Amino acid sequence: MAAESTDATTDSAFGHISRRKDVAFRLLALAATLVGIVSLALLLTNVAVDAVGWLDWGFLTSPPHPFPDQAGFLPAIVGSLAIMLLIALITFPLGVGAAVYLEEYASDGPLTTFIQLNIANLAGVPSIVYGLLGLGLFVGMLDIGYGSVIAAAFTVGLLILPIVIISAQEAIRAVPDSQRQASYGMGATKWQTIRNVVLPRAMPGIMTGTILALGRAIGETAPLIMIAAPTTVFGVPTGLLSKVSAMPLQIYNWASYPQQAFQYGVVAAGVVTLLVILLTINSIAIVIRNRFERST
C-alpha cells in the first residue's frame, strides 16, 4: 500500500513520462560533450596544420633566431625539462610528507582544520600571485638570481604543492582503516604501518595527483614572467643558477614577432612540441604508476 502511494506521488511530481524529453535531454548532454571535444580537435588540427614544414629536426636542436626559417626551440625545451625535474624533486617529498602528517599523525583539532582550509584555498590562488611571491621571496630576499632554474622551480613548485598535498591526502584516506588496524594488530609501529601498508597502497593515487600537477606546471607562464625569466635563452642551462626560459614563454615571445611566418608557423611548431612533450611525460608517468599498482 505504502509503496503504491509513493509511486503515485513521484509520478505526479515528474509529470507525464515522455520519450521525447528523454531523447532531447540525451542529445543535449551529447552536444555538451561534443562542444569540448570538437573544439579541441579543431584547435589541434589547426595548430598541427600550421606546424607542418616548421617542426623539423633543426627547429628542435637550434637556438632561437629572428628569422623564422632558422628559429629553434632547444634552449626552451631543455629549460622546461630542467625546471620540471627540479619541481618533481621538490614537491614530491614535501607534498607526500605533508599529506602523511595531516592524515596519519595530526589530531582532528581546530589547528588541523585551519591548515586544511588554508591548503585548499592555496590551491585556488591565481598563478600570478605565486609569481609575486617568488619574486619577493626567492629573487628578492633569498637572492638566488632572477629567472634562474632554481628560482623558477621553487616558484612553480609552490604553486602546485597544494594540489600535490590534496591529492596525496585523498589517496592516503582511501586506504581502508581495517588494513592499518591489521598492521597494528601484527605488532607493527606507526612508521612501519605507514611505510609498509599505507604508502604502497596510496602510491598510485599520489603519483596520479603529482603527474596532473606537473602537467599544470609545464604550461605555467605568468609566474615565470614575474620572476623575470629571460624572454629568450640561447644555451642550455648548465647549473641551478643558470638563467632559464621555458616553452610557453618562448612561444609567447614568438607570437609578437613581426613576420607572419612566426605568428603561424613557428608558434604552431612550438605548441605542437609542447603538447607532445607534455603527453610523453604524462604517459611515462602513467606507465610508472601502473607498475607500482601491479607490484603492490
Residue (10 or 238) nearer to other proteins, CB:
238
Which of 75, 127, 110 minimizes the C-alpha distance to 238?
A: 75
Q: Considering the rule CB under 8 A, would residue 296 count as an interface residue with other proteins?
A: yes
Q: Considering the rule CB under 8 A, would residue 287 count as an interface residue with other proteins?
A: no
Smallest gap from Cβ 235 to other proteins, in A, equals: 3
Q: Considering the rule CB under 8 A, would residue 241 count as an interface residue with other proteins?
A: yes
**Residue carrying C-alpha cell 629572428:** 66
Kindly tell me which residue out of 14, 25, 67, 114 binds other proteins, with binding defined by CB under 8 A.
67
Kindly tell me which residue out of 39, 256, 283, 290 binds other proteins, with binding defined by CB under 8 A.
256
Give the integer Cα–Cα distance in Å for 79 and 92.
Answer: 20
Residue (101 or 146) nearer to other proteins, CB:
146
Residue (236 or 278) nearer to other proteins, CB:
236
Q: Considering the rule CB under 8 A, would residue 160 count as an interface residue with other proteins?
A: no
What are 243's strand-pairing partners?
148
Are 288 and 88 spatial neighbours (Cβ–Cβ below 8 Å)?
no
Kindly tell me which residue out of 204, 237, 265, 270 binds other proteins, with binding defined by CB under 8 A.
237
Kindly tell me which residue out of 46, 234, 283, 287 binds other proteins, with binding defined by CB under 8 A.
234
Site for other proteins in 23-62 (CB under 8 A): 62
Are 164 and 92 spatial neighbours (Cβ–Cβ below 8 Å)?
yes
Instruction: Name the CA radius of gyration of the chain, rounded.
Output: 25
Per the document, the length of the chain is 296
Are 256 and 232 spatial neighbours (Cβ–Cβ below 8 Å)?
no
